[in-house]
């Protein structure tokens, strides 16, 4: 398909969640299959792709800052610029109009068209004009079945098992950027699991915006994750992100009993106030959530629970906020991602409610929860002091190359002095924990 030679060099940068990381691996596979090559060095690239996120306004801002810089680059040399992913899908024509330097806009369901669109843009550029290309239709069926992602080497392999989301939480843009929920056939997931094991990955993380609502014929998520965890050579299987509505007993049993399925559940709470949860369209009350936490903890002893919380959603009062603090204190999460509410175009909240909590109040509430959570995380982590933990070795610690870094089954970060002992990423080792902070366990 590509006739301009030598093969064009592509550089891709990824923003946002693991789904985007996984999609970038897919994009690499699709483009390499059509004769494109990749470079890590964006200065050398003929094509620059930004795989973008739209979840909060600061995600958009990051991309606008990149585009401002690239406007200067493009004045100096030929360059094809493509914006992929959720922001492309969310803003569509508006983004193309505002940012004339963009040649290509492709949403999460349009990646099969990317090689052709890039080839046309490059051919046009060679002849001295610009040809813009867009692939922004969402699909009810696209799962990219049959394409083996071009993965970064490492310990963990992401496997996307379902795409899209049908929940329409009122604050969230994902249903508009990623479209309707659809699951991949289990055979194709299992083939991919065997493939990554053969390539030396020892951990798999199953991905989906709503991963536990996976459904394909008789296969539900409990059956799928158990089958993936049976893959020879794989030490650990994780999953993200689940929704609290989809935790049938069979799934909790599978997590509790399968030795390879990690005892960690990321369970987004969003708010502890029933009034706000109702406005958010989360479909559970704080009591439902707490009952689920009890069910999880009684079925899976020593499970790690983490969460997401939004502060300052439309009309959130001090009392509502206090309810969130109460639930946080009660559950005692190992860690929490805490966000300021950011109004998103198209969403139910943008259409129906007023974003009326002042920025400053949102910020103060986030700071309060971060502080509370830091104390809780520290307490939770200190319970490991004096214990042996099993760690999957990942890499050198960020702070010092003399230290190794890995994670427990519950996804807690451990660092230790490597010394003279063998250090092999991807293997399981045991360490004795002698100290702990809010973010890290220290082993020896
Ligand atoms: N599908 C995942 C979450 C995707 S987004 C799930 O349902 O768990 C990750 C987190 O971003 C959400 O859990 C939520 O806490 C936060 N988030 C989503 N939309 C947001 C918004 N408009 N403003 C602030 N935070 C938001
Ligand atoms: Fe967004 Fe809700 Fe879907 Fe998660 S479940 S992606 S928060 S709409
Ligand atoms: Fe962002 Fe899209 Fe992921 S909006 S969080 S990249 S699904």
Q: Of 329, 348, 377, which residue is a domain's last?
A: 329
Of ligand 2's listed atoms, the one at least distance from the Cα of 270 is: 7
What is the pLDDT, as a whole number, of residue 7?
85
Residue 326 pLDDT > 80: yes
**Does the pTM of the predicted model rise above 0.85?**
yes
Query: What is the CA(169)–ligand 1 centre distance, in A?
Result: 9
We report the CATH number of the domain holding residue 437 as 2.40.50
CA distance 327 to 294: 13
Percent of the chain residues topping a pLDDT of 70: 99
In a domain, 323, yes or no: yes
Q: 306 by DSSP, 3-state: which?
A: strand
Ligand 1 atom 9: the closest Cα is on which residue?
A: 308
The answer to whether residues 285 and 410 belong to one domain is: no
In a domain, 42, yes or no: yes
Query: What is the CA(33)–ligand 2 centre distance, in A?
Result: 33
| Alpha carbon 171 to chain centroid, angstroms | 18
How many separate helices (H) and strands (E) can be counted in the chain? Answer: 13, 21
Residues 53-89 have pLDDT tens digits of 999 999 999 999 999 999 999 989 999 999 999 999 9
Count of domains in the chain? Answer: 3
Pocket of ligand 1 (CB under 6 A): 55-56, 171-172, 174, 209-210, 241, 243, 268, 270, 308, 310, 339, 341-342, 344
Residues 200-255 have pLDDT tens digits of 999 999 999 999 999 999 999 999 999 999 999 999 999 999 999 999 999 999 99
List Cα–Cα distances, 4 to 7, 182, 282, 305, 345, in angstroms: 7, 37, 51, 52, 40
What is the pLDDT, as a whole number, of residue 5?
53
Residues 85-138 have pLDDT tens digits of 999 999 998 999 999 999 999 999 999 999 999 999 999 999 988 889 999 999
Of ligand 3's listed atoms, the one at least distance from the Cα of 87 is: 4
Ligand 3 atom 7: the closest Cα is on which residue?
A: 174
What is the pLDDT, as a whole number, of residue 1?
46
What is the pLDDT, as a whole number, of residue 225?
98
We report the CATH number of the domain holding residue 295 as 3.80.30.20
What mean pLDDT do residues 314-332 have? 98
**Is residue 63 within 6 Å of ligand 3 at its C-beta?**
no
Residue 14 pLDDT > 70: yes
Query: What is the CA(412)–ligand 2 centre distance, in A?
Result: 25
Residues 255-278 have pLDDT tens digits of 999 999 999 999 999 999 999 999
The answer to whether residues 130 and 161 belong to one domain is: no
Query: What is the CA(172)–ligand 1 centre distance, in A?
Result: 6
What is the pLDDT, as a whole number, of residue 153?
87
Which has the closest alpha carbon to 348: 317, 307, 313? Answer: 313
Residues 381-429 have pLDDT tens digits of 999 999 999 999 999 999 898 999 999 999 999 999 999 888 999 999 9
Q: Of 72, 105, 135, which residue is a domain's last?
A: 135
CB contact at 8 A, 394 and 411:
no
**Is residue 366 within 6 Å of ligand 3 at its C-beta?**
no
Range of the domain at 402: 388-443
Residue 171 pLDDT > 90: yes
What is the pLDDT, as a whole number, of residue 242?
95
């Amino acid at each position: 398909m590509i006739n301009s030679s030598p093969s064009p060099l592509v550089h891709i940068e990824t923003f946002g969640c693991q789904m985007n990381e996984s999609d970038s691996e897919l994009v690499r596979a699709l483009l390499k299959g059509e004769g494109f090559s990749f470079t890590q060095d964006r200065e050398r690239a003929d094509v620059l792709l930004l795989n973008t996120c739209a979840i909060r306004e600061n995600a958009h801002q990051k991309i606008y800052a990149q585009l401002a810089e690239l406007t200067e680059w493009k004045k100096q040399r030929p360059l094809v610029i493509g914006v992929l992913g959720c922001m492309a899908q969310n803003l569509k024509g508006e983004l193309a109009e505002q940012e004339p330097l963009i040649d290509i806009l492709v949403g999460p369901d349009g990646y099969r068209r990317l090689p052709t669109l890039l080839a046309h843009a490059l051919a046009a550029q060679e002849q001295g004009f610009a040809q813009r290309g867009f692939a922004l239709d969402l699909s009810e069926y696209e799962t990219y079945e049959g394409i083996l992602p071009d993965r970064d080497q490492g310990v963990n392999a992401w496997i996307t098992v379902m795409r899209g989301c049908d929940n329409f939480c009122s604050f969230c843009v994902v249903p508009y950027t990623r479209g309707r929920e659809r699951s991949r056939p289990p055979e194709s997931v299992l083939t991919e699991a065997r493939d990554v094991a053969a390539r030396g990955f020892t951990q798999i993380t199953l991905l989906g915006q709503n991963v536990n609502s996976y459904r394909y014929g008789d296969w539900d998520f409990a059956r799928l994750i158990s089958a993936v965890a049976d893959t020879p050579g794989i030490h650990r299987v994780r999953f993200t992100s689940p929704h609290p509505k989809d935790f049938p007993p069979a799934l909790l049993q599978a997590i509790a009993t399968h030795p390879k399925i990690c005892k960690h559940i990321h369970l987004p709470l969003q708010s502890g106030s029933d009034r706000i949860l109702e406005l958010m369209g989360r479909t559970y009350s704080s009591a439902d959530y707490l009952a689920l936490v009890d069910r999880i903890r009684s079925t899976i002893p020593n499970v790690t629970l983490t969460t997401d919380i939004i502060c300052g959603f439309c009309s959130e009062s001090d009392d509502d906020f206090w309810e969130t603090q109460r639930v946080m204190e009660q559950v005692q999460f190992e860690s929490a991602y805490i966000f300021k509410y950011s109004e998103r175009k198209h969403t139910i909240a943008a259409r129906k409610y007023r974003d009326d909590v002042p920025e400053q109040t949102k910020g103060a509430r986030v700071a309060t929860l971060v502080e509370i959570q830091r104390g809780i995380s520290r307490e939770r982590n200190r319970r490991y002091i004096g214990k042996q933990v099993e760690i999957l070795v990942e890499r050198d610690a960020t702070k010092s190359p003399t230290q190794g870094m890995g994670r427990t089954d519950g996804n807690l970060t451990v660092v230790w002095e490597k010394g003279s002992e063998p250090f092999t990423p991807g293997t399981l080792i045991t360490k004795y924990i002698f100290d702990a902070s809010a973010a890290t366990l220290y082993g020896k």
